[in-house]
Structure 1
């Protein structure tokens, strides 16, 4: 490899990792400012200094892997117990957040044979949850009586995913530290929200498909299509990681493979949608009350289309799992940051942040990818044996 190529790769990696760190700081800073009450800016300064200090110290220090292993498992067990405790002690009805409530009314409606999208939650809003997100919350509602426990068990899934992706405990612990020092994530656990957890599942999908369908042919095309359909029906914005990950692969399929993949995808989508929509009293009710209309109204259509077009283009640029999580995290952040800036210019900081005119939690769609990409980028010299 030429010296210029080595320098170019080194520069590109630095740009990637520091841009992800910048995104991590921006998102969490907004949460510190919003929920830090009157100490917002002094607290923000302390937070940024703490993150910078901890990050520099952690990267430089080298201890035995056994030490990192003990701390990692203590962190996993302690946080899991803590999140269970929060679910028991925090009254969802006292929260000014209704994601948990919207999921629960959807579950109750499905179990009672009712149409789930015209029933108000505890804040008087209709559910915007797509069918698979409601299905994901169902076991926790049936077993524990609360969908809030979804976050606790998705955290365990994320811990497992960390172990699969990274090959030593210093890297694995680094992911946990970034997670625990993320106010955006801690806020979601406290308010029983599902957005961060939804995209932890998406990150697991990206890893599974990359390893077993794109990098190696361990997963049959039909099963990849089924998984893609299930992930798609959790939230409309997952179309971005799906396109980034799979469009190039789909483009290179034979005609027969394209038809097989598309047929399985359409059949799977149709079956799940039928399960949720067949109880509607009329087609007009579906048109006026459906989650696609609610989710699609978050920003101008031309912006949504432009992000998807960009995802199609970037799909041909992906050469590694790291590229996949980097561009997914970056593009999902941009999807939220652009309308955030538009709202900021139109309504001002006080209205969109302090008065909640803009929902900051949407930034959490990017955060699982940002955190994974950050650790990979800063420890790139110690290549992960599972990730190429």
Structure 2
């Protein structure tokens, strides 16, 4: 019976590995196809060969730890300064992507006492950034004059996160290599986008809560409620990893703990929403121009609710940090891939990919979780569960 269970768990583990590898390859292949210009097929074939060949070789070949350690820190330092250089050299106004300017107009509006959601950015679009995402960009705008530097420092946060999660430098370097070989991520750095950075913060929050709250119980539930409300107000889709991470624990709370958690959560949400929305000229402007409507209109409501229901169910099943990040990455991918397929069936390849009817950058929400899970699965036998 024990051997049967072991074989069953091993088979399930392999299935999860294939799912995560599929997600990583699909997301990055879409970016190769979109930006490969006249050599899309050649670039795609070459990219897949490099990724699969390098992955197999990397797992099988073992070198001294000093080699991996040296490459890891060299990679972190060089890429950090490269990202700063790139952010400085690329003129945001020349880009056909407005995530950076949508964040900047929101920051300027708040400091000027204006309503931030009916002001056009450099492409004439209104901001769909939730309040705390705008707050996330404030330090970089105030200190360096550009929210693009958020990407530079979120890279450092991601590097620190993989340093803490993994035990040795071969695994840490593997995540870094996946990051550097990801066209979806490199595109984000180039265009000063914020999706990957946003979910690096959420992945870091997941690690913190798993370690300090779910395992050690070193943080009070009220503090968790406060932080959860802030994280939720960065992007609506953050509800998926937050639900997987915390709903089962909330379910186990006593009635008093549930009430305290809920009160802190509602008060935090209310305070932040008031700060960002009280300058709306009138209720009609608020209804027509607010980020909740814009973010919620990406797909039918029934689909959005179904992902949350799945997250609720999964929260009762997960028993390890690995399972949490696997399901967070998988469900975040699904919630973008399903509408992508729906749009693709309606509009076809040319409009969807070439003419940008669908924003591929939304796939980057899942990528921090996917990269961590991919390495975790590949080196499972050498990794201890986070205590």
Instruction: Calculate the TM-score normalised by the size of structure 2.
Output: 0.99
Equivalent in the alignment of 1:204: 204
Q: State the secondary structure of the residue aligned to 1:72.
A: helix
Equivalent in the alignment of 2:341: 341
**How big is each residue's C-alpha offset from its partner over 1:42-89, in whole Å with a ceiling of 9 and x where there is no partner?**
100000000011101100011111111100000000000000000110
RMSD of aligned residue pairs (Cα, Å): 0.8
**How big is each residue's C-alpha offset from its partner over 1:74-129, in whole Å with a ceiling of 9 and x where there is no partner?**
00000000000001100000000000000000000000010000000000000000
Matched, 1:91 2:84: no
Matched, 1:289 2:289: yes
Equivalent in the alignment of 1:365: 365
Cα offset for 1:284? 1.6
Equivalent in the alignment of 1:119: 119
Equivalent in the alignment of 1:240: 240
Looking at structure 1, the residues matched to 50 and 63 of structure 2 have their Cα atoms a distance apart, in angstroms, of 21
1:143-158 → structure 2 map (5 Å cutoff)? 143-158=143-158
**How big is each residue's C-alpha offset from its partner over 1:242-270, in whole Å with a ceiling of 9 and x where there is no partner?**
11111110011000000011111111111
Matched, 1:176 2:191: no
Contact preservation (8 Å) 1:165, 1:384: no
Looking at structure 2, the residues matched to 104 and 312 of structure 1 have their Cα atoms a distance apart, in angstroms, of 35
Equivalent in the alignment of 1:159: 159
Contact preservation (8 Å) 1:31, 1:183: yes
1:241-260 → structure 2 map (5 Å cutoff)? 241-260=241-260
Contact preservation (8 Å) 1:133, 1:233: yes
Contact preservation (8 Å) 1:106, 1:116: yes
**Runs of 4+ deviating beyond 4 Å:** none
Looking at structure 1, the residues matched to 16 and 131 of structure 2 have their Cα atoms a distance apart, in angstroms, of 35
Looking at structure 1, the residues matched to 132 and 114 of structure 2 have their Cα atoms a distance apart, in angstroms, of 16
Looking at structure 2, the residues matched to 150 and 227 of structure 1 have their Cα atoms a distance apart, in angstroms, of 20
Looking at structure 1, the residues matched to 171 and 50 of structure 2 have their Cα atoms a distance apart, in angstroms, of 19
Q: State the secondary structure of the residue aligned to 1:358.
A: coil
**How big is each residue's C-alpha offset from its partner over 1:276-326, in whole Å with a ceiling of 9 and x where there is no partner?**
111111122111110000000001111001111111111101010000000
Cα offset for 1:384? 3.1
**How big is each residue's C-alpha offset from its partner over 1:225-252, in whole Å with a ceiling of 9 and x where there is no partner?**
1110110000000011111111110011
Equivalent in the alignment of 1:34: 34
Matched, 1:324 2:324: yes
Equivalent in the alignment of 2:67: 67
Q: State the secondary structure of the residue aligned to 2:381.
A: coil
Aligned residues: 387
Cα offset for 1:38? 0.8
Structure 1 residue runs without a partner (length 5+)? none
Q: State the secondary structure of the residue aligned to 1:127.
A: coil
Equivalent in the alignment of 1:277: 277
Looking at structure 1, the residues matched to 384 and 115 of structure 2 have their Cα atoms a distance apart, in angstroms, of 46
